[in-house]
A = this chain, B = another copy of it.
């Protein structure tokens, strides 16, 4: 599906929930659907501002929150620093090097053993997407 159609489909969902369709929401959605995953609110705002200079960072935060509530996007914490946002359809876990910041995306099956152990021992259901697993990459191996 072309980007524009996907954007409009989400805006329709927003409207169905009683929300309004605004220029800043359209700009944010276009940005999310067009660009790479894992961008911070600030990065998204900067990109939006290239074409729509009046969209304020706080508006971006509020709209990200709204889109997250609707299940369209999710955010992850890849270590210290700002959260990153990505489409909910492309979730996966992360390994992030504490030394150089290198990031590896890992499919859920990588976490299935840990999920089993956590469940068996603690009745705990892990969410491997929200927070990254920190450590050292091969290059920075301490």
Interface of A, helix, strand, loop or mixed by DSSP: mixed
Contact check, A124 vs B136: say whether CB atoms are below 8 A apart: yes
A residues 120-138 touching B (CB-CB < 8 Å): 121-128, 130-138
A97 to B141, CA, bound (A): 30
Seen from chain A, the residues whose Cβ lies within 8 Å of a Cβ on chain B are: 77, 79, 95, 97-98, 104, 106, 110-111, 113-114, 117-118, 121-128, 130-138, 141-142
Contact check, A134 vs B127: say whether CB atoms are below 8 A apart: yes
Contact check, B121 vs A110: say whether CB atoms are below 8 A apart: yes
A135-B141 in contact given A106-B122, A110-B114, A110-B121 (Cβ < 8 Å): no
* Chain B residues near A97 (CB-CB < 8 A): 124
Contact check, A126 vs B131: say whether CB atoms are below 8 A apart: no
* Chain B residues near A114 (CB-CB < 8 A): 110-111, 113-114, 133
With both beta carbons as reference points, the residue of chain B lying nearest to A137 in the complex is identified as B124
